[in-house]
Structure 1
């Protein structure tokens, strides 16, 4: 039986590899952080959809392939091996989509899921606010009910792809905290059309010059009550489902980090450090980290196949993969020395082949993203508290 499964996976691998070979654009797309590049990435998402590969792990009833975790791993490995473009609708495909399947009404699923899969609608996540990041339950964006609508006022910040999105799924406070209520109560998960009157989107320029984030302001924005996912006032449970998807292992993404180490090796070689034992030792260290993560992804897939609930692993995965990603790029910055200060200039590596120059052009953007990854989705400090208290069962840290 095991041999049959292995043969089936290898057949699927060849199928995916063949399709990607024929379909991946021959030249890298411009960065999605500018409108031209974003539109081209969106076209690529539609190619994936038409090929049946937009979300292979989704249930067939929602347009997926009912793919097993092992098939998802194979697809991810082949996707990164082929150098395919970065995905831009992950907020819809891997956050909102699964949340709708779990908490949404049949009408909401029918209304939103097909356009998520085809990338007709781009979604962004509206959780963080000024002074409300790790302590998410302290959010201040209000939604006051007026008949069949909510009137929304407030602000969201660090909204990934917010400058290009069509819709946002946001946490809003529909019931003030009072008396003996917990601050987690009275929060609602609300989907908002960003083209609604009263919405203002301001792109944020990051330290590396990219504009992948935005801050979004709501002024008397009217939103139908039907856009609530889950129960009114019960949005915290829906939000925890969302964060679980965000923090957990995306099966197949380990290949991205292995590719990062391979790119780092090329950059080190181009800088003339191919025989430097100290540099090779550093490369070996981060290679081991990625191999450990790869092995763990396969281990988790095996546990899931046995029916083991992986919910408790989400925070552990988040701490490991974000720290590993940062280690890769921090190691690169040290090894590249003075060249590491040159922001994305391929000419800083004279004589390098085109593949190496492309890796260099993207290096600084990925470096700063790696630092941010230890913050978004719940800071790693908060994740360690969750692991110690909820997974290991240690005494709770004193709350002020």
Structure 2
């Protein structure tokens, strides 16, 4: 029989172990260089642990699930556009939690493959990694370790510092906070590297269970992943992707993503504190917070769905393109392709390139799109309303999260 945690009971807290430590070089202060042992955190194995939420938390979990399902079941034709918007919102907010930020202009250029700043490129890599991980969970009906490693490889492949660790579990001791040169003063020192494979096998088994509330399961899996910290970098972004991968595997979503990272970003310090609380066995608080964030994010996503449904008609009224023209054909596809090159526009419309350029110039003059590259060749355009909605959605989620704390 699987161990269980009765309603409202504490989740098993992390244990501690003292292990030997030695710097690979001689860096930092004398204290950094002289450190010879550290106390690491030893999470519980959770694959067979049961979690029964407190009676007062069950309605919040059910409401969060209902809101997620409602967004994904939207019958209107813009579901592809909504899915793309929510995917970008989630990956951008998840990156911002890690202090990785870029302007929408830089992000749009990076999406189009135009060399941009390092942060924008990292945000695009996060978007691709998130999409890969969620899609694979949906296709396979399971979370596989190989898919987590593949997503991490996509995220970190071009990273200047940790690119050589892309797609690989760490074989070194890492830590969170404190000194850059040793674990002195660290907020959290994860388990030793030789334990990571077993911990991840255990976590994947937990993530693939079907007998737990899906939102609670996603919350616990995320907190456990962050506690294991299996990579040298990129743990936060992959760990938050795991939330949506579990929601997809459990069938709450089929075509969309829940931008829960926007809720976490709104109260970043609270989010980190709750993860730390999980390590002390306070699981209910983290589950409750994710349920709240999930519900709010899904509700605001429905407002974005309403907005997206209105945009094509508004664009047609504003531009009044001739029926059958390249501009008319392109207007019908912009919501799903908010960042577009002339070549992509030609593929979408089937029109000659000369007609496509004429259409793009017209739509820019009408204020529907704008060029995000200052060049005559390899130009890229962004759809103003869609890019603005990306920022506005995250801002609305953040405002709603903060309002619930008043």
TM-score (norm 1): 0.27
More strand by share: 1
Q: Which has the higher contact order (CA 8 A, sep 6+)?
A: 2
Task: Normalising by structure 2, report the TM-score.
Answer: 0.26
User: Larger radius of gyration, structure 1 or 2?
Assistant: 2
